[in-house]
Amino acid sequence: MSTATIDLWGPEITIKRQTPLTILRAQAVLLEQKTGGILRGKIQTTIVDNSTKHELLVFAPLLDNYSLAILSATHHVDLVYPVHVSSRGLDLEFSGTGTRTAEAQVQFVELLAHILVSPYVRGVLDSLIAQSNEAAEGADIANG
């Protein structure tokens, strides 16, 4: 009599997984593509003790490379999940920085998607794009 092996691991286990850094880098590239280079994304990584922190920065080249961190993702140096995500885009009151923990990639992507379309991030992007457009128009007028 044969006995079938019972799979108790669940369907969530897959080899299609990425680190928070890889996911953030992809979003940085997409920002530049979506804005035609008016804004650029960059990931700044720091390691302190046993923690790795990745910050997603938005750069405005036409504004003397003004930059602003719109979120940070912090995890243990040995394990990329769970990851602690901090951003004003998570704070409903806009009075500080909200922090949430993503136990796995699925939750990280959900948090990131929420932050990137949040009113806070939209306001930052709209401001930087408008100011960059104004700077470009001023440069065109000056160059005549």
Beta bridge partner(s), residue 73:
54, 85
Q: What is the mean pLDDT of the chain?
A: 91
pLDDT at residue 87 tops 80: yes
3-state SS class at 109: helix
- Give how far Cα 38 sits from Cα of 18, 31, 89, Å: 28, 9, 21
Radius of gyration of the chain from its Cα atoms, rounded to whole angstroms: 19
Query: Which pLDDT value is given to residue 42?
Result: 97
* Best CA proximity match to 71, nearest among 93, 59, 94, 53: 53
Query: Which pLDDT value is given to residue 11?
Result: 82
Query: Which pLDDT value is given to residue 18?
Result: 96
Domain ranges across the chain: 20-137
**Ramachandran quadrant class, 89 (left: phi over 0; alpha: psi -120 to 50; beta: rest):** alpha
Query: Which pLDDT value is given to residue 67?
Result: 97
Q: What would the mean pLDDT of 102-115 be, rounded to a whole number?
A: 95
Range of weakest confidence among 72-81, 88-97, 116-125: 88-97
Query: Which pLDDT value is given to residue 106?
Result: 93
3-state SS class at 32: helix
